[in-house]
Amino acid sequence: MVARINLLGPPSIERAGAPVAPPRGSKAWALLAYLALTDGPVPRSRLMDLLFDEADDPAAALRWSLSQLRRALAGVADVGGDPLRYEPHAGTVVDVDVLAHGSWVEALMLPGFGGGLLEGVTPRVGAAFDLWLSTERRRTAGQRAAILQEAAHSRLARGDVASAVDLAGRLVAAEPLTERSLELLVRALVAGGDHAAAVERVRDCRALFLRELGTAPSSALDEALRRRPASGTTRTAAAVDAAIEGGVGAAHVGAYERAVELLRSAVDGSRALEDGPLLARSLGELGGTLVRGVRGSDEEAVGVLHEASAMARDLGARGVAAKAALELGHVELLRAHYPRMEVWFDRATALADDDAHLLAWVGVYAGLGRTDQADYPRAARTLDRAVERARSVGDQRALAYALTGLGRLRLLRAELDAARSALDLACATADELGWTAFLPFPRALRAEVAMARGDLDGAAEAFDRSYALACQVGDPCWESYSLRGRGLLAATVHDDALALDLLLEAPAACRRQRVTHNWVEGHCLDALCRFAVSRGLAGAPGWVDELDEFASRRGMRELVARAAVHRCDQGQDGARELAAVLVAGIDNPALAGEVTSRA
């Protein structure tokens, strides 16, 4: 028997294809949404505080709402116990679960896909639940946008241009000020031969950005309008092989322009030869190189990787398909589309056939993404395994990255000895490799460990060195880490003017390019909020709103909790209660201590 719980759009419950009489009272829907979107059992006391704190008898009010839910969910899901356990029956489809963990094909078929969470439901609850619901509505909206983006790219890779245009158009309608979405639509229109419509879209976008944001979109939109002429220099399979090897080698030493030139010629040569396996391989290497080395090329890179993935799967080229899935997961990590990241990494793992080198990189990126979401126990296990795999195959770059990821995780949890140990080894490994482009990352984190230990002079020198090197290699993420650290250091010594200048510059550095690690921008925004709230600056409420919007849309749980802490420090109703609820699901003693101190 197929059953459904629909929480997107106007909520409903179905059993055997027929609608069930809904539970009475909007709080029953609010209760169901909270249980469905929270990992693990929930103490009844928490629900009484969130939903029924204004009732004369909160426990009785909760029992009544539960009785309503049980009636509506009979044969669909079980709810009971203390703490409360919510367990959908086998075969029950829960739309928010499909949105988060299903394929884009399944998600697009959801009846409420285009709707918001609990659309039309306005429960009379306290400020804390209102804040929580706003957070979850933004998060599900972000997941919906990520699905539309993946679906449009997948359809385009398969040659279904009309569907790709439709999906990209829906994405643009949902987020008209997101340049990446407009670029995808323009690329789809150009692929379909409707150049006039693409030009019109770019013109309208430029006017909208200037009117609403006061700035023009980047040159990526103009690039998307251009059809690149094919090169005619790579005419044999041997020449294509040589171009691929040369491109991969050039990328490895950081010569990305030459790498892209060679790999584009390999793609063109493979198409001319109608050699599917060579084309899939060429596309995969080109897409990965565009992601890692060419700023502002992310939509082109994703499109190339989707084509490589589709072609490799059709051909049974598992190794090529695994690498394309790894790179697409990496892109979703950077964009903070974490559920889509997990889908791609699951696919890469399934296709890897125990390739320890590839699995090490899956672990590196998955560990970083799980850290972004404050899933610290799982992230630590993932990164530890990545370290083991990297060592087993002698992949020193993967080792340096995994150790840096572990150091970052331990630093976020204020485990300073473990952080220092991992980061010292990461720095030594990268230094021995001569991996200059990467070194600013572990060095900035190592400087923050020194600052946390009270070594302000040592931290100042280390932050200055990491920032100078980040500027030399031109990586905005590494610049942001160092600017953030220098700003916090200035605040520690009460140089508030310098601190504000640096802490404003830190998140702005990430925004200079589109292919950056989104979490770093949020991390820097949090530091700005912490400083601004502590000093009572006039801009503090706006920055806290920005952090909350940014982090909640992306599912960055600890940053959402920290936004609630900042609201608490500003005296906002419900913020302390929300912070306590959010922190209860995060295994970070340092964060828990901050919330407890405000009780």
Whether residue 168 lies inside any domain: the answer is: yes
Give a yes or no: residue 562 inside a domain. yes
Helix, strand or coil, per DSSP, at residue 361: helix
- Residue 332's CATH number: 1.25.40.10
Q: Residues 216, 241: one domain?
A: no
Residue 333 lies in a domain: yes
Dump pLDDT digits (tens) for 439-470: 999 999 999 999 999 999 999 999 999 999 99
Query: What tokens appear for 205 in the block?
Result: 């976008």
Between CA 153 and CA 125 the distance in angstroms is 41
The verdict on 477 and 585 lying in the same domain is: yes
Does residue 568 belong to any structural domain of this protein?
Answer: yes
Domain boundary among 165, 195, 225: 225
What is the rounded CA–CA span in Å between residue 263 and residue 283? 8
pLDDT digits (tens, 9 = 90+) for 542-599: 999 999 999 999 999 999 999 999 999 999 999 999 999 999 999 999 999 999 988 7
Residue carrying the six token digits 């959908």: 88
577 and 435, same structural domain? yes
Among residues 396, 397, 450, 444, the alpha carbon closest in space to that of 420 is found at: 450
User: What are the angstrom distances between the C-alpha of 27 and each of 47, 132, 154?
Assistant: 11, 14, 39
Residue 512 to residue 256: CA distance in whole angstroms: 19
Mark whether 454 and 552 lie in a shared domain: yes
* Structural domain includes residue 68: yes
Bridge partners of 6, per DSSP, are 12
Torsion of CA 531, 535, 538, 539, to 10 degrees: 0
Tell whether 433 and 530 lie within a shared domain. Answer: yes
The pTM of this model reads 0.94
**Residue 106 and residue 188 in one domain:** no
Cα separation, 387 vs 368, in Å, equals 13
Same domain for 556 and 461, yes or no, is: yes
414 found inside a domain? no
Q: What is the DSSP string of 471-501?
A: HHHT-HHHHHHHHHHHHHHHHHTT-HHHHHH
- Total of domains in the chain: 4
Same domain, 456 and 589: yes
23 and 115 in one domain?
A: yes
Q: Which CATH number is 76's domain given? A: 1.10.10.10
Contact 400, 409 (CB under 8 A): no
Q: Helix, strand, coil shares of the chain as percentages rounded to 5?
A: 70, 5, 25
**In the listed set 294, 326, 353, which residue is the last one of a domain according to the structure?**
353
Whether residue 241 sits in one domain with residue 220:
no
Torsion angle of C-alpha atoms 144, 147, 152, 157, degrees rounded to 10: 170
pLDDT of residue 294: 60
Give me the CATH number covering residue 176.
1.25.40
> What are the start-end ranges of the E strands in 297-435?
none
Distances (CA, A) of 158 to 276, 307, 317, 457: 14, 7, 17, 57
CA distance 48 to 63: 10
If asked whether residues 297 and 208 sit together in one domain, one would say: no
Q: Let me know if residue 387 belongs to a domain.
A: no
Same domain for 179 and 298, yes or no, is no
Domain that holds residue 53: 3-125
Output the tens digit of pLDDT for each of the chain's 599 residues.
689 999 999 999 999 889 999 999 899 999 999 999 998 999 999 999 999 988 889 999 999 999 999 999 999 999 999 999 999 999 999 999 999 999 999 999 999 999 999 999 988 888 999 999 999 999 999 999 999 999 999 999 999 999 999 999 999 999 999 999 999 999 999 999 999 999 999 999 999 999 999 999 988 899 899 877 776 666 799 999 999 999 999 988 888 889 999 999 999 999 999 999 999 999 999 999 998 876 555 789 999 999 999 999 999 999 999 999 999 999 999 999 999 999 999 999 999 999 999 999 999 999 999 999 999 999 999 999 999 999 999 999 999 999 999 999 999 999 999 999 999 999 999 999 999 999 999 999 999 999 999 999 999 999 999 999 999 988 999 999 999 999 999 999 999 999 999 999 999 999 888 778 999 999 999 999 999 999 999 999 999 999 999 999 999 999 999 999 999 999 999 999 999 999 999 999 999 999 998 87
The phi, psi pair for 441, rounded to 5°, reads -65, -60
409 is a domain residue: no
